[in-house]
């Protein structure tokens, strides 16, 4: 079935999305990035197992609690991955979305279908969102497995001092993975926009990754505090409310609004830019 037939038949967009997922998850680069992310909790768990726990207050959050409860491997690994490793892989996935097709010469064929540009952008952004979720969940799932193998696992003591069961603790960890994935959706929208600006994938990837690092640097400068609330990175590590009893959803909601604003602005900008892009150049 041709791409034109797929798009015009009912459910064509879903078929395009399914094809996109199948293609992307078979790519060696995608598998390599996911494999590298999976190594983070493995290396972290093995290092703590060999060297022992660090002193309280030293190193990433939750690091000093790993030897007492293996579930904290997942949280410590996610804390390590969020500032650099997750943004880097998301930058690659989103930055390559359109620019990669243009560089390989397949973009013009994908746009033979009716309403091709808006449909293609929607499918590409949906793939980037799926990658955000997959990457974050992979880190915590591998971290949970590693923690279960290398350390004792038991009830989890929350930040409020309340103790919850292992099952609920695992549920909280997965919820935090969802929070991390949501936090990266704004960056994915930025990467999609950069991908429509250039036909050189590495340029879009680099611009997205550099912007993520720059935003975090600005967020760490007290003199620029007035800018912090509008940075898409501002709430990346604010998942502590999900470790309280009861859960406080205010931070989650505020992060969703912040990322939603970036999604609207940059996906809209990508659509505007892509609609005017000369595909033949």
pLDDT in tens, 47-99: 999 987 665 656 667 888 888 899 999 999 999 999 999 999 999 999 999 98
Q: Is 166 part of a structural domain of the chain?
A: yes
Enter the pTM of the model.
Answer: 0.90
DSSP the chain: --HHHHHHSTTHHHHHHHHHHHHHHHSHHHHHHHHHHHHHHHHHHHHHHHH-PPPTTSSSTTGGGTTT-TTHHHHHHHHHHTTTHHHHHHHHHHHTTTHHHHHHT-HHHHTTSTTHHHHHHHHHHHHHHHHHHHHHHHHHHHHHHHHHHHS---PEE-TTS-EE-HHHHHHHHHHHHHHHHHHHHHHHHHHHHHHHH-S-HHHHHHHHHHHHHHHHHHHT-GGGGGGGGG-TTTTTT--GGGGSSSPP-HHHHHHHHHHHHHHHHHHHHHHHHHHT--TT-
Q: Is 104 part of a structural domain of the chain?
A: yes
Higher per-residue confidence, 7 vs 234 = 234
pLDDT of residue 103: 80
pLDDT of residue 274: 87
Phi, psi of 156 (to 5 degrees): -100, 130
pLDDT of residue 278: 65
Number of independent structural domains in the chain: 1
Q: Is 165 part of a structural domain of the chain?
A: yes
Q: How confident is the model at residue 107 (pLDDT cuts 50, 70, 90)?
A: confident
pLDDT in tens, 33-44: 999 999 999 999
What lies within 8 Å, CB to CB, of 8 at 6+ separation is 113, 114
pLDDT in tens, 15-28: 889 999 999 999 99
pLDDT in tens, 132-184: 999 999 999 999 999 999 999 999 999 889 999 999 999 999 999 999 999 99
Q: Is 54 part of a structural domain of the chain?
A: yes
Q: Is 112 part of a structural domain of the chain?
A: yes
pLDDT of residue 32: 97
Q: Is 280 part of a structural domain of the chain?
A: no
Q: Is the peptide bond before 246 cis (omega within 30 degrees of 0)?
A: yes
pLDDT of residue 4: 40
- 238 pLDDT more than 70: yes
Q: Is 55 part of a structural domain of the chain?
A: yes
Tell me the residue range of the domain where 56 lies.
Answer: 3-275
CA distance 257 to 263: 10
CA distance 108 to 276: 14
CA distance 263 to 190: 8
CA distance 114 to 119: 9
pLDDT in tens, 194-233: 999 988 999 999 999 999 999 999 999 999 999 999 999 9
pLDDT of residue 8: 44
Q: How confident is the model at residue 114 (pLDDT cuts 50, 70, 90)?
A: low
Q: Is 281 part of a structural domain of the chain?
A: no
Q: Exposed (0-12), middle (13-18) or buried (19+): which is 182, by Cβ within 10 Å?
A: buried
- 5 pLDDT more than 80: no
pLDDT of residue 197: 93
pLDDT of residue 7: 44
Q: Which residues of 107-136 are buried (b: 16+ CB within 10 A; e: fewer)?
A: beebbebeebbebbbbbbbbbbbbbbbbbb
């Amino acid at each position: 079935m041709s791409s034109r037939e797929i798009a015009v038949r009912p459910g064509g967009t879903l078929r395009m999305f399914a094809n996109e997922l199948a293609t992307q998850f078979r790519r060696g680069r995608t598998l390599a990035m996911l494999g590298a992310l999976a190594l983070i909790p493995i290396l972290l768990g093995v290092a703590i197992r060999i060297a022992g726990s660090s002193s309280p207050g030293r190193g990433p959050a939750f690091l000093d609690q790993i030897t007492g409860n293996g579930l904290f491997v997942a949280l410590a690994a996610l804390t390590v991955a969020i500032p650099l490793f997750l943004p880097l892989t998301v930058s690659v996935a989103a930055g390559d979305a359109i620019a990669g097709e243009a560089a390989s010469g397949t973009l013009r064929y994908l746009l033979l279908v009716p309403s091709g540009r808006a449909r293609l952008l929607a499918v590409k952004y949906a793939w980037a969102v799926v990658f955000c979720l997959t990457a974050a969940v992979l880190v915590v799932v591998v971290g949970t497995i590693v923690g279960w193998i290398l350390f004792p696992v038991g009830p989890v003591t929350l930040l409020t001092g309340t103790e919850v069961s292992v099952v609920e603790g695992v549920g909280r960890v997965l919820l935090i993975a969802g929070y991390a994935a949501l936090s990266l959706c704004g960056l994915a929208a930025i990467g999609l926009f950069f991908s429509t600006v250039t036909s050189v994938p590495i340029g879009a990837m680099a611009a997205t990754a550099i912007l993520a690092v720059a935003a975090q640097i600005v967020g760490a400068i007290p003199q620029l505090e007035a800018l912090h609330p509008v940075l898409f990175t501002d709430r990346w590590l604010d998942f502590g409310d999900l470790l309280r009893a009861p859960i406080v959803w205010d931070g989650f909601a505020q992060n969703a609004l912040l990322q939603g604003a970036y999604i609207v602005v940059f996906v809209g900008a990508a659509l505007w830019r892509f609609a005017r892009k000369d595909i033949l150049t």
